A and B are shown apart, each in its own frame.
Chain A
């Protein structure tokens, strides 16, 4: 296990009197794939948005490589090498693939004018690396013309650009075909082999279990379980645990959670 890339310390987020996150302690190390699971409303999306800088936490600290970062926002998050593939993909669909890949970090000359050819070249290379294409396209194609899987490809290409250290994938396989899902998995393994860390969020426990090495289960804004793949044993056990959470008999459940290291 490598160096600690990011660590959240007692992160809370409340909307009025409702706590979306009630004190989250989470860390991701270099080169590991962490699976984050939880039911609807568990706070997964809020947690991701905090990591991506799109939501400011009400309290708590965010540490990058052991140092507390102040004024955490989306620009800072990307600056520290954290890239997020959002569930809704966060694409501007009337714009070209190139413009989407370089959204928020355009390649420019000293006067701020775009280096159009360079961007075009880089975008083409990225799309080729991803291999997300069922038909011929160009980096100048409008994103609105692409299929769901291809749009996901654009979002992922944007995330791997510039040697990002941690890639957050928020339900990347939702609404994708089997082939496209397998491509996403292939990409995760590739990125992992290249030494990047991944935070993989999913509804499909089997998917998450296949891909991740460590699991974090979120329930009502709290982490109720952290376990490695070896500790967990099988996907069925994880599913069983998730079902227990949904079950009203909660005492037994928390006993199990606390028993884990």
Chain B
């Protein structure tokens, strides 16, 4: 019996009537569907606020207020996308942020240039990142519980050492560092420009760099990544190191904005930051995510509080709207994004 030659077709080039994925606009929309989804959520929410109180929401003042404090969240949320994409979670970043901010404030208080304080803060963030990463990856602990433990321990150590006393850094506003990183550029807070730059850099790192590619495949299928020669342990540890550095930046900016370091610094950032990552369209199961979407997500989450009060509702409504936006966003992304198994 002779089989018909099934394979001759293999030699011919595939005839390609343009695949729908290849038109440029469609590709762009498909590649960024999660980010675009979260942008739509943000625009709808903002429209509601503008309609609710046009007097307040057509003035620059209220946006300026958000842009002043939002950057701190961005420096936490963006690295957190890497950690979630690689298939882990981190709850220790508020404590890391506090510890790094402490190093920065101590440096400034001791009379050193703030740049030296910033280097110390980054070193603290780096070391804590390595420690947490080592604990999760080589200690093989669940990242949820291990980072929760580190968070409590670190916060405890800070409280023991400082006895709960905050540090005011009154000399900082006169320094070059303050003017560069937290000054005023044509009415826009400088830190928001740095945050935008950081987001764009990280988006490239995430989508167009070897590290980002390996974060994706490690989170998607760690066994396959390992079989193909990816050092998955190193990739995971590096994600935590990156998270540590981001937390350190957040700690520095928070001191620069408030001129004060509080032993409770970072406490209020845990849940809003985590929510922002998922509101932005990063998948909780790992392997897929979006930096831009999550940055927009943090804009949404940050705006809820300002917006709810600005519309004229009492502060008691804030938490309810947090919850509402989170649930609606997740439902939207669920519909928008297919999960392959």
Indicate whether A65 reaches chain B with its CB closer than 8 angstroms: no
Query: Contacts A86-B227, A99-B213, A103-B230 known; A94 to B7 CB distance under 8 Å?
Result: no
Tell whether, in the assembled complex, residue B21 and residue A141 are in contact, meaning their CB atoms are under 8 Å apart.
yes
Give the CA-CA distance A129 to B311 in the complex, in Å. 61
Q: Which residue of B lies closest to A94 (CB)?
A: B287
**Is A92 in contact with B224, judged by CB distance below 8 angstroms?**
yes
Q: Is A140 engaged at the interface, CB distance under 8 Å to the other chain?
A: yes
Per-residue contact bits, chain B 265-295, to A (CB 8 Å; 1 contact, 0 not) = 0000000000000000000000110000000
Nearest chain A CB to B21's CB is how many angstroms away?
5
* Cα A84 to Cα B209 with chains together (Å): 25
Contacts of B6 in A (CB 8 A): 179, 182-183, 186
Known: A138-B19, A138-B22. A95 touches B14 (CB 8 A): no
B333 contacts partner chain A, Cβ-Cβ < 8 Å: no
- A173–B11 alpha-carbon span in the complex (Å): 20
The B228-254 residues at the A interface (CB cut-off 8 A) are 228-231
Interface segment out of the listed A13-21, A110-118, A221-229:
A110-118
| Interface bin, chain A | 35 or more
Whether the pair A52, B227 counts as a contact (CB closer than 8 A) is yes
Tell whether A186 pairs with B10 under 8 Å between CB atoms, given A74-B226, A103-B217, A114-B209.
Answer: yes
> Do the beta carbons of B226 and A54 come within 8 Å of each other?
yes
Q: Do A113 and B340 have beta carbons less than 8 Å apart? A: no
Minimum CB–CB distance for A260 against chain B, Å: 32
CB-based nearest A residue for B220: A92
Question: Given A105, A106, A108, A140, which contacts B27 in the complex, CB threshold below 8 Å?
Answer: A140
Question: Nearest Cβ distance between residue A202 and chain B, in whole angstroms?
Answer: 18
Contact between B208 and A113 (Cβ–Cβ < 8 Å)? yes
A93 and B216 CA atoms in complex are apart in Å by 11
**A76-B249 Cα distance, complex, nearest whole Å:** 37
CB pair B216–A99 under 8 Å, yes or no, is yes
A182 touches B3 (CB 8 A): yes
Q: B17 within 8 Å of A by Cβ?
A: yes
* A140 to B27 CA separation, bound complex (whole angstroms): 9
Please tell me if B225 contacts chain A, counting CB pairs below 8 Å: yes
A75 part of interface (Cβ distance < 8 Å):
yes
Starting from the known contacts A74-B226, A140-B27, 14 additional A-B residue pairs (CB-CB under 8 Å) come to: A54-B227, A74-B228, A86-B227, A94-B339, A95-B217, A105-B228, A106-B214, A114-B209, A133-B14, A136-B17, A138-B22, A140-B22, A158-B228, A182-B7
Leading 8 A-B pairs by shortest Cβ distance: A144-B340, A131-B10, A104-B228, A92-B220, A75-B229, A90-B224, A186-B7, A104-B229
17 example contacts (A-B, Cβ-Cβ < 8 A) are as follows A49-B227, A54-B226, A73-B229, A103-B225, A105-B228, A108-B209, A114-B208, A128-B13, A128-B14, A136-B16, A136-B17, A138-B22, A142-B340, A144-B340, A144-B341, A145-B340, A186-B7
Residues of A near any B CB (own CB < 8 A): 49, 52-54, 73-75, 77-78, 84, 86, 88-95, 99-100, 102-106, 108, 112-114, 116, 127-128, 130-133, 136-138, 140-145, 158, 179, 182-183, 186
List the interface of chain B (C-beta within 8 A of A): 3, 6-7, 9-14, 16-17, 19, 21-22, 27, 204, 208-211, 213-214, 216-217, 220-221, 223-231, 287-288, 338-341
